[in-house]
Structure 1
């Protein structure tokens, strides 16, 4: 869709170019959402792809994923040697969630080559698959403010509701850091939708850390990601109690699923995820 209200597009080359973000000025990266519907309030776009951030960067604390990393780069990152793709460490099984999160999205592979990790996170939709995967891996968001300061926010706290998050006016998401601890975790995923190619009705992602701590992350069925923490892989009764304790106001209601159905099916999927994490090969009960 053409945006006929846009009067200027600025290609940012450094942080000083990120000025004026606000009501009439927005960040452009992949643009798959911006150009999908009218944006009558916008008059100016700042293209951040010119900043040249590496899509995936191994650092001492873990893996830094740039906001401008495309879904194709994110999903295509592999462990071990593979020509033509980003290569990650072989001892990072948690990266399996990258492609699984992207496959939970209702999007073609053409969209994958354009849409970005940052766009999926900042759009903050309940069914955001990349948001789900990175929340499940206990990632932190690095946020740049216009005054030159930075702040980090746990991704599990970043989203506060459908299309609402903790970004303040003038701030942008710079990157997401996934810690080594969770990159080394074992994972399990379950997803359901009312139609084969429909938007996800519930997505549940589980993580079992090397020290046995376990987290089960619920998305799509709730208005924001909900993380259920356990000191060890939980039994079915523990999972059922944790799901039952989720605030009733958080169950999402839209044409892709009623709240009572989402609550029920989330409990079923969460128990399956917990069971897989308990009984996975080599993991023991």
Structure 2
């Protein structure tokens, strides 16, 4: 869509260029959301793709994803390091309502910063306990867990002029076994619930519920809980919401069901 109010696009080649950001000047990466609808409040864009950050790198044994890494680049990360969690990359990408054309432009950071409940990159990175590196507008850096970065439906902990630089996925999460479930009211509809389970090498279990809640919700256990206890804990969450893609009571019910399926799958593969 043409953004007829935008009169300037500034390529960001160093951090100083981000000083141009303002309430009416927004950062843009792939632009799959920015250009999907009118943005009458914007007069300018700062193009983060001009940084030419590598899509992903390794830091010690952790995986660092650039915020400008596209979904296509994420899904194509080779399975050559023995990461038990590797299948989750592709699985999360398939939860995005979009074609391969969207995969080639939509970015990991853009999906998280849009902070929509159905954002699959928020689901993925929260499920793996990833930490976002935020470049604050005042020149400082701050690390924020992705599960805490997204605070509500379309809301997050970023201020005007703040930019997410990257996401660090810890080696311990990459080594964990994972299970993924997504449900929608139609075969290619927006996710009504995305549930990710992670079973660590020490037996600890983390369940992340998103899509069905206004922000990621996590339940942590020292070991796999019994199915009734897990179902009860999921049902006790309070941030369910209703929109055209699903009613809150339906989201609560299916999330509890999917959580038990995940628990049973991980119990089976750990034997």
Shorter-chain TM-score bucket reads over 0.9
Match of 1:272 among 222, 243, 261: 261
Work out the CA distance in 1 between the residues paired with 2:148 and 2:86.
21
Contact 2:131/2:144, CA 8 A, preserved across alignment: yes
Matched, 1:108 2:95: no
Give TM-score, length-normalised by structure 1. 0.93
CA distance, structure 1, for counterparts of residue 241 and residue 95 of structure 2: 17
1:243, CA displacement in angstroms? Answer: 0.8
**Are the aligned partners of 2:122 and 2:147 in contact in 1 as well (CA < 8 Å)?**
no
What is the aligned residue count?
271
Q: What displacement does 1:20 show?
A: 2.6
Q: TM-score, normalised by structure 2?
A: 0.98
CA deviations over 1:78-118 (Å, ceiling 9, x no partner):
212xxxxxxxx1x2121211111110111101000001000
1:83 is matched with none
Cα drift, residue 202 of structure 1: 1.1
Q: Partner of 2:85 in structure 1?
A: 94
CA distance in 1, matches of 2:187, 2:137: 43
Distance 1:47 1:118 in 2: 13
Partner of 1:60: 60
Say if 2:23 is the partner of 1:23. Answer: yes
- Equivalent residue number for residue 213 of structure 1: 204
User: In the TM superposition, what is the alpha-carbon distance from 1:274 to its structure 2 partner?
Assistant: 0.7
Alpha-carbon contact 1:137-1:182 (below 8 Å) kept: yes
Q: State how far apart, in whole Å, the 2-side matches of 1:113 and 1:167 are.
A: 25
Deviation per residue, 1:29-87 (Å, 9 max, x gap)? 1001111111111111110111121111011150100000001001111212xxxxxxx
Per-residue CA deviation, residues 9-46 of structure 1 (Å, 9 max, x unaligned), is 11011111111312110011100111111111111111
- Please say if residues 213 and 240 of structure 2, whose CA atoms lie closer than 8 Å, have aligned partners that are also in contact: yes
Counterpart CA distance in 1 for 2:49 and 2:231 is 44
**Correspondences of 1:118-267 after superposition (within 5 Å):** 118-247=109-238, 250-267=239-256
Confirm or deny: 8 A CA contact 1:98 1:130 kept in the other structure: no
Tell me what 1:12 maps to. Answer: 12
| Poorly superposed stretches of 4+, deviation over 2 Å | none
What CA RMSD, in Å, does the superposition of the two structures yield over aligned residues? Answer: 1.0
